[in-house]
Chains A and B, each alone.
Chain A
Amino acid sequence: MTRKQKRLAIIGGGVGFLTLAVLLVMFAFSQAIAYFYVPSDLAKADVPPGTRIRLGGLVEAGSVKRGDGKTVTFTVTDTLGQVPVTYTGILPDLFREGQGVVTEGTFVAGNSVFVADSVLAKHDETYMPKDVADRLKAQGVELSGKETVR
């Protein structure tokens, strides 16, 4: 191979690989990301069953009920809308009624209950997940000062 051919081979290989990577990233973005909603969005947005989303809001006071031990149901609210959620597993340490929470999962066809497979109440007791705080603030929900200073 001449000098030029060698260089071309290397550049060609590189460009090919990069193209592949870009396509892969685009495909993954179309498949593997989850949009974030608060309950009142869901009335407007039409989320097809089986689509993974993140649902955030406050855990409604008095809504937490334990089923057969492992399964928990609770209501996520942004004061304008409510969504019932079921979750099987161990709730995070900082999960409390009246506090912010982010759940991830899907709606099952023909049912308005959100089936979560992960529940996040983040690491620190002094804040609410930023996504939740921003959206609640945007909707004019009063949040007790310390909870959301961000």
Chain B
Amino acid sequence: MIIELGHYALVLALATAFVQAALPILGARLNDRALMELASSAAVACFLLVAFSFAVLTFAYVTSDFSVRNVWENSHSLKPLIYKISGVWGNHEGSMLLWLLILVFFSALVATFGRNLPETLKANVLAVQAWIAVAFTLFILLTSNPFARLIPAPGEGKDLNPILQDVGLAIHPPLLYLGYVGFSVCFSFAIAALIEGRIDAAWARWVRPWTLAAWTFLTAGISMGSYWAYYELGWGGWWFWDPVENASFMPWLAGTALLHSALVMEKREALKIWTVLLAIMTFSLSLLGTFLVRSGVLTSVHAFATDPTRGIFILAILVFFIGGAFSLFAFRASRLKAGGIFAPISKEGALVFNNLILTTATATVLTGTLYPLVLEALTGDKISVGPPFFNMTFGLLMLPLLFAVPFGPLLAWKRGDLMGVAQRLFAAVAIGLVVGCIYYYAMNGGPILALFGIALGVYLIVGSLTDLALRSGLGKVTGNVAWRRFSGLPRSAFGTALAHIGLGVTLIGIVAVTAFETETVVEMKPGMTVDAGGYTLRFDGMRNGSGPNYSEESGHFTITSGGVVVADIWSSKRLYQARRMPTTEAGIRTFGLSQLYVSLGDQISEGGIVVRIWWKPMILCIWGGTLFMMAGGFVSLSDRRLRVGAPTRAKRPKTIPVGAAE
């Protein structure tokens, strides 16, 4: 009964979304307040209905109600509670429901916190959000109903894919979707602006917090996914340039560009049309990602079981929204007044440079991801585009941007002084090179490019701090004054610095791991030792064990350094009973920022086993850097000038007439 209520709530949500999609736009046209205000209540109602529906599905999972087909296919009564809950979105139907839940959650947020938005803009934004909600609710109800029943109910479920039985599944998809779907708000704002045919700096100020929030969550989601793949798959890699990874990385790149172009638009009223286009592109890439991952054109752990109708349905959604948005853009963009002009060497110029490179890099990733699909469709040839392609194109293209990052904050608006800034960054370059040399020397040489890679990372960090130091007048005024100025800097300045520092930290991690990681594959018998990264591992033997729904064989290793025991590692292979599926549970031990990573292979002879041991120097920097980026995002969000509900109109009355005068 409760299951049918959940299903029914979803149907009601569809009806509500239809109302929200149609009437507010009409209201905005006719200038009818009642119709426009309907949008907010409809958005909240829609959210409550979908949330109820989602809660019902969760309930079915927690109580192991195998009369629900979806639960039977993906759950097991012996599964620990946390995986029963996270298993709700560990399958196609449930994850689409989560997607929808987050979409309507954002609509409800706009409805609740957008009180100071102009009435018509708010009505149009919520209506566009509702179009997306209608499309995806229809998709769920028609092709992927999670509430379908199974009669008679089986006694036991088929269990969740063991790779997904991990705390990573509880965190990664919700964070990723908060980012992915969060960009829908930017999209809706862009479409609403096109419908109204006008746009101004205030628009950018409303869009920026949403972009920032979505970007921060997407950063967290991608980073979490990368770390999860690193420890769960047992391959020791942290990024594979897998199409599914690219699917989330492309919106991130475009979103990063959007974040920067919206800044120019807010502060200088320039790049208006471009920002609108970028907002559309970012969410289009999110939709494309959903299509790639969910339609089954790619094979991966994310593709779950698929049937062709779903792929075609999502493709239809994709074509409708992307095609529709770009057509609308083509017809209406000329109506938006182009903004101010600026010298190529200026903060605007630097941000344009950022946008140019980020969008080009996005395009290369897109090309590399789609080319195999297109080629196969056209010629039938099957190719794989892997890391070498992306390292060559994406890596090289991003290089100039990394050099330019610290310049951005230091350049003045309108007309900047490139030489002056370069002089101020001289210290950062010098410190970078010195640290690079020291590290290179400490590692006893290696590829010379690694020296410059580390130097570039350190330069990014010091360069970002230079901005803060100069703005607080460090060295020019007394310590007290400098401190007062420092603490008085706007939060967004700290946000920028933190995010850029994070980029440097991540870069250092990537360079160090790529250049200095060591990998040893060796057959070990109990008592044998292997050296890795200055530590010695001794294999002690195997032990059998079992968990709630699996059995496992674990190898024990003792780690010594200079003859002293410093740690130990358990590394295991598991066999999950319900699916008879083996998995590798790598043994990982952290030393500072570096890690020892041990993964087991096959048992060969009496007590002997193939073992793969990696020394991963500074690898934690890769994800540590993303923590800085996230911190930067949150700090920026907390800036008063950006706070969602804070009225900023009074301070800059100029911004409203500019748009209204058109």
Interface residues of A (CB under 8 A from B): 1, 3, 6-7, 9-10, 13-14, 17-18, 21, 24-25, 27-29, 31-36, 54, 66, 68-70, 88-91, 93-94, 104, 122-127, 129-131, 134-135, 149-150
Can you list 19 A-B contacts with CB-CB less than 8 angstroms, sorted by A residue number? A10-B344, A21-B397, A24-B392, A28-B389, A31-B388, A32-B392, A33-B383, A36-B381, A69-B523, A69-B608, A70-B521, A70-B522, A89-B601, A89-B612, A104-B386, A123-B161, A125-B579, A126-B305, A150-B299
Chain B, range 293-347, C-beta contacts under 8 Å to A: 296, 299-301, 305-306, 341-344
How many A-B residue pairs lie within 8 Å, measured between CB atoms? Answer: 127
Q: A6-B344, A21-B360, A32-B388 are in contact. Are A123 and B604 (CB under 8 A)?
A: no
Q: B residues 261-306 with Cβ under 8 Å of A?
A: 296, 299-301, 305-306
Contact B582 A36 (CB under 8 A): no
Spell out B's residues near A (CB within 8 Å): 161, 163, 234, 296, 299-301, 305-306, 341-344, 349, 352-353, 356-357, 360, 363-364, 367-368, 371, 381-386, 388-389, 392-393, 396-397, 521-523, 573, 579-584, 599-602, 604, 608, 610, 612
Residues of B contacting A14 with CB < 8 Å? 352, 356
Question: Is the CB–CB distance between A122 and B299 below 8 Å?
Answer: yes
Q: Which residue of B lies closest to A149 (CB)?
A: B305
Choose from A7, A33, A125 the contact partner of B580 (Cβ within 8 Å): A125
A115 to B614, CA, bound (A): 22
Interface SS, A side? mixed
Residues in A neighbouring B296, C-beta threshold 8 A = 150
Is A124 a contact of B301 with CB atoms below 8 Å?
yes
Report whether B300 and A123 are in contact in the complex, using a CB–CB cutoff of 8 Å. Answer: yes
B-chain residues with CB within 8 Å of residue A122 when the two chains form the complex: 299-301
Cβ–Cβ < 8 Å partners of B356 in chain A: 13-14, 17-18
Point out the residues of chain A lying under 8 angstroms from B353, CB to CB: 13
B residues less than 8 Å from A150 (CB atoms): 296, 299, 306
Shortest Cβ distance from residue A11 to the other chain B in the assembled complex, whole angstroms: 10
**A131 to B388 Cα, complex, angstroms:** 20
> Of B367, B383, B599, which one neighbours A25 at CB under 8 angstroms?
B367
The answer for the CA separation of A10 and B352 in the assembled complex, in Å, is 9
CB neighbours of B397 from chain A (8 A): 21, 24
Query: Does B363 lie within 8 Å of A125, measured CB to CB?
Result: no
B245 to chain A, nearest CB (A): 14
A116, B374: Cα distance in complex, Å: 27
Q: What residues of A have a CB within 8 angstroms of the CB of B371 in the complex?
A: 29
Nearest Cβ on chain A to B601's Cβ, whole angstroms: 4
- Taking a contact as CB atoms under 8 Å apart, the answer to whether B602 and A91 are in contact is yes
Beyond A104-B384, A126-B305, list 6 extra A-B contacts (CB 8 Å).
A17-B356, A25-B364, A28-B388, A32-B388, A36-B381, A69-B604
